[in-house]
């Protein structure tokens, strides 16, 4: 990790140049009027692609509950990643999985992939970047830059997006090459040794050709004190490179976007409830007690090819994408010094390769009828390997592979019944097939590097992938139809009301982490098998109102929802005491969401949102049997009942030299149960963020001071309770951070 300390001289030189530019550029043109209404830029509508129409739509015109963010808004928030974005959206909990850094643990309206660091369970909140769906949500909690827009769609999106969006979807769009030359360079220095440089360059290459290059390089020292090993924990460095090229024809355009990324750093930051034999307050300070530094090493490469053709009065859009992803990690799960109750040994990781294709046509068939119709194909293969130490005695390695093929045919039509009343009808048929080859953790007949070894793991065996014995082979296929029906009423030019029914589903699958030795010892009559388990299905009902009032100075939205889930996929111990995912429950979630953005004056803008979710099990025999309590008494895993956010932005001129922007933001997340059995409740937390920015009169230079988690709140998104082996652990979220940012546009 020595490379983490190779940047400072370059960084200092870079900032000297930008500060000289600040001094010379600050005296350009008169800016008295520039501050007027700058805060009101937060009211500018974001164009969204949630309905996959031929052209993007204003978010307020779409009858879906959406939290939409422009690239400028993301920068104004000083958001690091999607976790920060999620704190501002009602009933949204976008967390990072504690045991697998940079993996999404995303919950929307009470549904998501809660606490799963293994790919057995498909996501319930889909992530799509530039039209490419992520088959797995590993590597999605990464630095945000080069962003055109982010959309958080709340509620099932099964008709247009297919499987694995029962909670909702997050749509990310990066910037495209432009025909005019422009660029941006940004530098950041901050607490914990943070150093960051990024740039985005775009412009013409030749006749009809334009190109783009976006690069981000970042490193930091540790975020948490390590009370066991001494020093700091959480050091990390990352590099993201995005070249792109675009050709614009007479009636079509073709865009190629690529992305390469590499992230290296320390492993997870666990904090045990017990330290040196004594019970401690895990929320007393931002320190970790891990006795293993651990490591994370992630690489990925993405390619997206998008073609848009004007055809038959509409647009034919084709998107072909490829993703190659590899992650290796090593870390201490129990977070306690000395005796290793639970540890992932180095070499644990994931290899994934996917190809996705979608082609769709969208346009008007008449002045009353708009339609979108398309086909979607996707194929992915992933291999998950796990090597872990349990109670400091046994290395338990295994490797499993899943081949997953999907196909979908979808259509959605919007028919204007009257000048103000619209009917939406849609449907999608999805087919998918999974082929599984599963290894058993602790297989007594394992050979080579998958054999059982007592004691410490030799260093020479800690890093390489190898073939392991896979004792279970099976395949299963599923078919599912997901309809949608909706009604939209334009009450007047300022208010729109809508109601809808939708169905969504989450893929069935197999348990790639499987440890029932009876599958090896008595394969003809095992106590349990890795699967398959079936799809999870949701029927969702929603009523909402969107409005723009006071001449566009106030934007206010309200949504009410009710969801019924059947065949819920839950993770629990089976009859052999082995952790396994199975269809174990049914539940309902209901609640409301409210958000408002208001220009209080020409220079002051207020933002506020609140979400409430009442999530309740209707049936969960495995919980009732384990704890002797009715199913309705248990909280659903990782579901906050209340989420709140607020922000105020104030702009004012600084003579003729430019203007200052002050921003203060607040967010609240209710307590959550970290497991289905509610053994560990992660407390509620509050975050305060603030920034002060100076923008020069020419509006091409901005210098900012920012701070996140200003109260230095000790909090966590996720915990792990296994008191049977003396481990009760939470994984820490970032402490207070602050820094200086300089952005120069040209």
Which residues on adjacent β-strands are paired with residue 428?
410, 482
| Residue bearing the bigger pLDDT, 345 or 494 | 494
pLDDT digits (tens, 9 = 90+) for 76-131: 999 999 999 999 999 999 999 877 889 999 999 999 876 567 888 899 999 999 99
CATH T-level assignment (fold) for domain 2-745: Maltoporin; Chain A (2.40.170)
Indicate if the pLDDT at residue 252 is higher than 60.
Answer: yes
Residue 6: predicted pLDDT? 39
Alpha helices, H only, 494-593: 518-521
Which residues on adjacent β-strands are paired with residue 401?
383, 437
Confidence of residue 417 (pLDDT cuts 50, 70, 90): very high
| DSSP codes joined into one string, 573-642 | E-TTS-EEEEEEEEEEEEEEEEEEEEESSSSEEEEEEEEEEEEEEEE-HHHHHHHSS-GGGSPPBT--SE
Cα–Cα distances in Å, from 114 out to 103, 332, 440, 581, 678?
11, 20, 23, 12, 13
Task: Decide: pTM greater than 0.85.
Answer: yes
What are the sequence ranges of the domains in the chain? 2-745
Cβ-contact 648, 663 below 8 angstroms: yes
Pair type for strands 672-673 and 701-708: unpaired
Nearest to 480 by CA among 541, 543, 433, 527: 433
pLDDT digits (tens, 9 = 90+) for 284-322: 788 887 777 788 899 999 999 999 999 999 999 999 999
Backbone angles phi, psi at 459, to 5 degrees: -60, -35
pLDDT digits (tens, 9 = 90+) for 632-685: 999 999 999 999 999 999 999 999 999 999 999 999 999 999 888 888 899 999
| DSSP codes joined into one string, 646-709 | EEEEEEEE-TTSEEEEEEEEEEEE--EESSTT-S-EEPPEEEEEEEEEEEETTSSEEEEEEEES
pLDDT digits (tens, 9 = 90+) for 362-384: 999 999 999 999 999 999 999 99
Indicate if the pLDDT at residue 1 is higher than 50.
Answer: no
Indicate if the pLDDT at residue 36 is higher than 70.
Answer: no
Alpha helices, H only, 26-154: 71-76, 82-86
Q: Which two tokens stand for residue 690?
A: 């603030």
| Residue bearing the bigger pLDDT, 386 or 150 | 150
């Amino acid at each position: 990790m020595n490379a983490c300390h190779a940047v400072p001289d370059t960084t200092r030189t870079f900032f000297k140049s930008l500060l000289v530019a600040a001094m010379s550029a600050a005296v350009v043109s008169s800016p008295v009027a520039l501050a007027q209404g700058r805060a009101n830029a937060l009211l500018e509508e974001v164009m969204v692609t949630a309905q996959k129409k031929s052209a993007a739509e204003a978010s307020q015109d779409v009858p879906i509950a959406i939290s939409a963010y422009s690239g400028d808004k993301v920068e104004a928030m000083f958001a690091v990643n999607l976790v920060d974005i999620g704190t501002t959206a009602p009933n949204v909990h976008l967390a990072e999985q504690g045991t697998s850094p940079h993996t999404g643990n995303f919950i929307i309206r009470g549904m998501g992939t809660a606490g799963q660091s293994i790919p057995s369970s498909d996501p319930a909140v889909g992530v799509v970047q530039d039209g490419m769906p992520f088959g797995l949500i590993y590597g999605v909690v990464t630095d945000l830059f080069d962003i055109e827009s982010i959309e958080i769609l709340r509620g099932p999106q099964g008709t247009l997006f297919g499987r694995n969006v029962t909670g909702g979807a997050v749509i990310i769009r990066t910037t495209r090459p432009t025909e005019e030359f422009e660029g941006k360079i940004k530098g950041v220095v901050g607490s914990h040794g943070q150093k960051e440089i990024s740039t985005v360059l775009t412009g013409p290459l030749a006749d009809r050709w334009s190109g783009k290059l976006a690069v981000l390089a970042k490193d930091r020292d540790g975020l948490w004190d390590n009370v066991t090993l001494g020093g700091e924990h959480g050091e990390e460095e990352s590099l993201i490179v995005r070249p792109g090229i675009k050709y614009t024809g007479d009636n079509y355009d073709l865009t190629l976007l690529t992305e390469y990324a590499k992230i290296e750093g320390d492993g997870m930051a666990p904090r045990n409830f017990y330290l040196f034999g004594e019970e401690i307050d895990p929320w007393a300070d931002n320190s970790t007690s891990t006795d293993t530094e651990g490591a994370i090493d992630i690489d990925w490469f993405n390619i997206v090819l998008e073609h848009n053709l004007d055809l038959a009065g509409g647009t034919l859009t084709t998107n072909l994408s490829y993703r190659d992803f590899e992650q290796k990690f090593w870390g201490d799960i129990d977070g306690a010094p000395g005796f290793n109750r639970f540890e992932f040994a180095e070499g644990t990781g994931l290899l994934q390769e996917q190809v996705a294709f979608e082609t769709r046509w969208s346009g008007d068939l008449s002045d009353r009828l708009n339609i979108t119709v398309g086909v979607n194909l996707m194929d992915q293969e992933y291999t998950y390997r796990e090597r872990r130490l349990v109670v400091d005695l046994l290395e338990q390695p295994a490797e499993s592979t899943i081949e997953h093929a999907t196909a979908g045919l979808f259509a959605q039509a919007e028919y204007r019944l009257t000048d103000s009343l619209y009917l939406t009808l849609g449907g999608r048929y999805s087919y998918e097939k999974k082929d599984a080859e599963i290894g058993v953790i602790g297989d007594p007949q394992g050979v080579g590097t998958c054999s059982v070894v007592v004691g410490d793991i030799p260093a020479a065996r800690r890093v390489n992938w190898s073939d392991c014995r896979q004792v279970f082979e099976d395949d299963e296929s599923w078919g599912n139809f997901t309809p949608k029906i909706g009604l939209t009423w334009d009450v007047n030019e300022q208010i729109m009301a809508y109601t809808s029914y939708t169905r969504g589903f989450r893929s069935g699958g197999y348990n790639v982490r499987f440890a029932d030795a009876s599958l090896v010892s008595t394969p003809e009559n095992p106590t349990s098998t890795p699967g398959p388990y079936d799809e999870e299905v949701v029927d969702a009902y929603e009523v909402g109102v969107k409005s723009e009032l006071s001449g566009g100075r106030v934007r206010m939205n309200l949504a009410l929802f009710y969801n019924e889930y059947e065949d819920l996929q839950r993770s629990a111990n089976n009859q052999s005491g082995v952790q396994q995912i199975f269809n174990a429950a049914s539940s309902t979630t209901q609640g409301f969401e409210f958000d408002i953005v208001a220009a209080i004056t020409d220079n002051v803008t207020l933002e506020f949102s609140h979400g409430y979710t009442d999530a309740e099990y209707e049936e969960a025999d495995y919980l009732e049997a384990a704890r002797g309590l009715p199913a309705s008494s248990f909280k659903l895993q990782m579901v906050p009942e209340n989420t709140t956010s607020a922000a105020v932005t104030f702009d004012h001129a600084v003579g003729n030299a430019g203007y200052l922007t002050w921003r203060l933001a607040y967010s609240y997340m209710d307590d959550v149960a970290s497991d289905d059995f509610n053994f560990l409740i992660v407390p509620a937390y509050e975050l305060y963020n603030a920034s002060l920015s100076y923008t020069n009169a020419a509006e091409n230079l901005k210098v900012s001071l920012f701070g996140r988690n200003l109260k230095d709140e000790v909090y966590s998104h996720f915990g792990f309770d296994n008191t049977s082996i003396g481990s009760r652990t939470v994984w820490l979220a970032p402490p207070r951070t602050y820094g200086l940012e300089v952005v120069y546009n040209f």
